[in-house]
A and B are shown apart, each in its own frame.
Chain A
Amino acid sequence: MATKRKNDWILVLVFLGLGLCALLLVRGLQQPGAWAVVLQGGEETGRYPLHRDAAISIEGPEGYNLLVIEGGAAYISEADCPNGLCMKAGKISQGGQSLICLPHGLTVRIEGPGLDGVSG
């Protein structure tokens, strides 16, 4: 029993360690983004500059989401999905961060300043 308990602890600490390291790695790689890229079912269907405030209604076969860009950050302010997790996910602004609405197959992700970051 005592060795089992010890093995449990080792397993828990290994996973917590791995998770924290991965978290720091991901955070370290992040930079402020320039674009909010909308993907529906894996296909890019829109790309909006983060520096310009906008409200974009995204219609899909499964339902709609309202994407708002405000002060360099993007968030979902309205959606007709059952759980509304995409709205509760809050604002994103760093490259690589994303808002996901699984029921609608929708992803909004932030991409870093690309070569065409100067336009618009």
Chain B
Amino acid sequence: MKTRDVTFLGLCVALALILSYVESLLPPLVPVPGVKAGLANVVILYVLCRRGWKAAGAVSLVRLLLSAALFTGFGPFFYSLTGAAVSLIGSALLQKTGRFSPVGVSVLGGVLHNLGQVALAALVLESGYVLYYLPVLVLSGTLAGVLVGLLTGWVLRLTPPAGRHLPGGR
């Protein structure tokens, strides 16, 4: 891995971290655990589109570890990790088909993220009743996915692929 890549991915981690922190300061729109826009996923999706799933997974994992250590503690960590992993696998596969723009990729990611978390909650709380939240989480995951996808598409259009915008860059 080149120094350049380490720097780039490190910046992405920092950006994702600060976005999730800023988002956590905003009042929740809907009083259901797990319903939020997930602005940090703009960064993850950006890295997925530009650098592939391994880089996106690495940024996502480091960001979750730091976020748990700095802000939330390791209780919510496993929910986030499950959601992020399921979401990334689905998004990466959908992106590979080449038939969807970032919006579609992000919508699947958002829905899978919520499904993964609610499945884990059902297992941990040993309560099938959590599944009553499924409809709300599918809807909120879709809307969050659209928002994140639109933002990511916008950022992708504004930034040329790395290396071409600097004279002498590789």
Contact = CB atoms under 8 A, between A and B. Distances in A.
Contacts of B101: 1, 4-5, 7-8
B132 A97 contact: yes
Contacts of B126: 42
A22 B75 contact: no
B130 interface: yes
Contacts of A98: 127, 129-130, 132
Contacts of B135: 19-20, 22-23, 25-26
B31 A103 contact: no
Majority SS at the chain B contact face: helix
Contacts of A58: none
Interface stretch (A48-56, A66-74, A83-91, A112-120): A83-91
A3 interface: yes
Given A11-B100, A105-B125, A107-B129, A19 B142 contact: yes
Contacts of B32: 85, 89
B107 A8 contact: yes
B99 A19 contact: no
Most chain-B CB neighbours within 10 Å: which of A11, A18, A100? Answer: A11
B108 interface: yes
Interface string A15-30: 1101110110110000
Given A7-B99, A16-B139, A22 B134 contact: yes
B31 A88 contact: yes
B100 A85 contact: no
B139 A85 contact: no
Interface string B132-149: 101110110110011001
Nearest to A109: B129
B127 A109 contact: yes
A109 B103 CA distance: 36
B107 A18 contact: no
A25 to B, nearest CB: 8
B74 to A, nearest CB: 12
A11 B33 contact: no
B108 A100 contact: no
Contacts of A18: 138
Contacts of B104: 4, 7-8, 11-12
Contact of A12 (B33, B75, B142): B142
A100 B28 CA distance: 15
Interface string A42-82: 10000000000000000000000000000000000000000
Per CB-CB distance, the 7 closest pairs between chain A and chain B, nearest first, are: A42-B126, A88-B31, A22-B135, A19-B138, A23-B135, A19-B139, A8-B104
